[in-house]
Homo-oligomer: A and B are copies of this chain.
Amino acid sequence: MAEFDINILGCGSALPTTRHLATSQIIDLRDKLYMVDCGEGTQVQMRHMRIKFSRLNHIFISHLHGDHCFGLPGLLSTLGMLGRTGELVIHGPKELENYLRPVLTIFCKGLPYEIRINTVDTYQHSLIMEDRSLSVYSIPLKHRIPCCGYLFVEKQKEAHILREMTDFYQVPVRMMQEIKRGADFITEEGEIIPNARLTHPAKPAKRYAYCSDTAFYPNIIPYIEGVDLLYHEATFAECDAARAKETFHSTAKQAAEIAKRAQVKQLVIGHYSARYENLSQLKQEADEIYTDTTLANEGMVISLS
């Protein structure tokens, strides 16, 4: 079972190339799937990466540019044809509803499942959704249109019971849940057994921040400080910094600057402009600021656990 994996389905930008696909990622957290962005071709790429359609319950859309959402109509139709019945929630900016409603009306008559659109205020850092494993927060970004990133915060897992110890102290079954959550145990004789002797701590909860598309925007630093992994867009090389500024995108160096200042544990860059056949320049420019940047690529899976 995947503990906390980030699957890169596509990491290109708006213009189609044979090297990269439009943006989409799937976060696989304890076998529940959360999609971020859904560019054209996402559903086919899910097939290529053998990602199960049925485990997907939430889609987060960063902004209404085609390379981040033109895969939605196909994916939503396919989920219907596959006989999905459970609700699907799509989180995204206000305009998402105007985009999807006509598509659903024309193409998805009699869909066997509900689609709920949850409007996200892209200008606020706030809690967007929460379930047993995860909380997701918006990260306001700076782009040409309303746009936000998403911060995926794993919930702390319960500690593992050390069976031989609980047997030894004859801990009753009804106490186990509390002990998993950190309680000490008091024996019939009144002896306090500290939790640390009864359990093995769970791995620390992880955090993943997705930031695309955005200009260089240090305001995001407080939200992403110390995350285990930051995906930051790096559309341009430094020689095209003027173009980056003009189009509200970042250079690889700027992405690295954000990663360094936020002291993130790992940096992955993507959303490459179609103009670069070779991405070594982007990596080199990022590495000068933040050591060992990872270049995203289609099919890449990054495990946080």
User: A residues near B, CB below 8 A?
Assistant: 14-18, 21-22, 40-41, 43-44, 46-48, 64-67, 70-71, 73-74, 77-78, 81-82, 95, 98-99, 102-103, 106-107
What is the CB-to-nearest-CB distance from A98 to chain B, in angstroms, rounded to a whole number?
6
| A41 surroundings in chain B (CB, below 8 A) | 40-41, 44
B73 touches A77 (CB 8 A): no
- Which B residue's beta carbon lies closest to that of A43? B16
A18 touches B47 (CB 8 A): yes
A14 touches B78 (CB 8 A): yes
In Å, the complex CA distance between A69 and B279 comes to 33
Beyond A17-B44, A95-B106, list 11 extra A-B contacts (CB 8 Å).
A14-B78, A15-B81, A16-B44, A18-B47, A22-B74, A40-B70, A40-B71, A41-B44, A66-B77, A99-B106, A99-B107
- Which B residue's beta carbon lies closest to that of A41? B41
In Å, the complex CA distance between A38 and B58 comes to 28
Residues A66 and B74 in contact in the complex (CB < 8 Å), given A16-B43, A44-B21: yes
The list of the 10 closest CB pairs from A to B, nearest first, reads A40-B74, A16-B43, A102-B102, A16-B44, A41-B41, A66-B77, A70-B74, A18-B47, A16-B47, A66-B107
Counting chain B CB atoms within 10 Å of each CB, which of A14, A44, A73 scores highest? A44
- Which B residue's beta carbon lies closest to that of A22? B74
What is the CB-to-nearest-CB distance from A15 to chain B, in angstroms, rounded to a whole number?
6
| A102 surroundings in chain B (CB, below 8 A) | 98-99, 102
B14 touches A81 (CB 8 A): yes
| A67 surroundings in chain B (CB, below 8 A) | 74
In Å, the complex CA distance between A73 and B69 comes to 10
In Å, the complex CA distance between A279 and B66 comes to 34
Q: Which one of B15, B70, B106 lies within 8 Å of A73 (CB-CB)?
A: B70
